[in-house]
């Protein structure tokens, strides 16, 4: 049987990495933990680093690229990213392969379409990942839910969506004003309400599951994020299951059988 599974190795500003597995082969989407920690967490999911065929980076922020070079060198795998991302990521000696938004790339059995998002990085992308007839939408680290983002995520079997902060917790919290403004800005991060809007707009009868990722430790709580998104999705007739990842925690594997 053709299966696609996603395991969240870590999520949040402490480090982001998701292992997408199909037919025993893996793609690491972001590698924001140390190489050793990536290896350790993979083994918890019963996966071997040698099963990973490539690393794909969504953007150059440290919480997404920390272990990328070491992992790529140790396991002799290529690293994919937009030109802007690759230029700003330390990748000496790595087989770095440029991708471009709007251009589909094939990695193993996976077809991946990167698409542009607004985020304070050089050339950040979100991803539509297709395997067989299954599709996974991944949108983390973006500040705006544009029509283009909704279009690319629409109708996926599973959606990985950033739910970074609860508006009220952020506003009342201890972050300095400039940082609050940056997070809330068009090129910052998605709030729970934004995540609810994106999930609600993108989910169709095909969509079985929404996984909320990149929650802030200071400005969010899993249950608040879940409620915001579930409330929006409840308006639909078919059930969509909402899973929430803990800051820095492991979640899954989530199955798109
Ligand atoms: Zn991030
Ligand atoms: Zn970022």
pLDDT digit string, tens, across residues 67-115: 999 999 999 999 999 999 999 999 999 999 999 999 999 999 999 999 9
Which ligand ends up closest to the CA of 118? 2
In this structure, is residue 86 part of a structural domain?
yes
Residue 255 lies in a domain: no
Q: What is the mean pLDDT of residues 60-65?
A: 98
Classify residue 14: in a domain, yes or no: yes
Q: Is the pLDDT of residue 257 over 90?
A: no
Q: Are 204 and 150 in contact (CB under 8 A)?
A: no
Which CATH number does the domain housing residue 89 bear? 3.60.15.10
**Distance from the CA of 214 to the center of ligand 1, in angstroms?**
7
Q: Which residues pair with 10 in a beta bridge?
A: 17
Q: From ligand 2's centre to the CA of 3, what distance in Å?
A: 29
**Does 117 map to a domain?**
yes
- Residue 191: give the domain boundaries: 4-250
- The answer as to whether 22 is a domain residue is yes
**Is 175 inside a domain boundary?**
yes
The answer as to whether 198 is a domain residue is yes
Residue 256 lies in a domain: no
Note the ligand closest to the C-alpha atom of 64. Answer: 1
CA distances for 116 relative to 20, 92, 122, 145, angstroms: 21, 26, 11, 11
φ, ψ of residue 186 to 5 degrees: the values are -60, -25
| Number of domains making up the chain | 1
Mean pLDDT throughout 123-128?
98
**Hunting for tokens 């899954």 — which residue is that?**
252
Residue percentage of the chain with pLDDT more than 90: 96
């Amino acid at each position: 049987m053709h299966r696609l599974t996603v395991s969240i190795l870590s999520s949040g500003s402490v480090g982001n990495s998701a292992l997408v597995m199909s037919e025993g082969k893996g793609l690491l989407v972001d590698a924001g933990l140390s190489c050793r920690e990536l290896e350790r967490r993979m083994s918890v999911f019963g996966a071997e680093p040698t099963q990973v065929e490539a690393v794909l980076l969504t953007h150059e922020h440290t919480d997404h690229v920390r272990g990328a070079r070491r992992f790529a060198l140790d396991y002799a795998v290529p690293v994919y990213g937009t030109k802007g991302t690759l230029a700003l990521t330390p990748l000496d000696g790595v087989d770095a392969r440029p991708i471009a938004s709007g251009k589909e790339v094939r990695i193993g059995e996976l077809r991946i379409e990167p698409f542009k998002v607004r985020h304070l990085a050089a050339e950040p992308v979100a991803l539509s990942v297709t395997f067989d007839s299954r599709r996974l939408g991944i949108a983390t680290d973006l500040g705006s839910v544009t029509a283009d983002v909704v279009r690319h995520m629409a109708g996926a079997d599973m959606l990985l969506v950033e739910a970074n902060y609860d508006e009220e917790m952020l506003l009342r919290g201890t972050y300095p004003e400039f940082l609050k403004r940056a997070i809330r800005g068009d090129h910052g991060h998605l709030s729970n309400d934004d995540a609810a809007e994106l999930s609600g707009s993108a989910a169709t009868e095909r969509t079985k599951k929404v996984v909320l990722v990149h929650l802030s430790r200071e400005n969010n709580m899993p249950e608040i994020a879940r409620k915001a998104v579930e409330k929006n999705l409840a308006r639909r007739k078919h059930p969509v299951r909402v899973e929430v990842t803990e800051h820095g925690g492991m979640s899954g594997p989530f199955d798109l059988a």
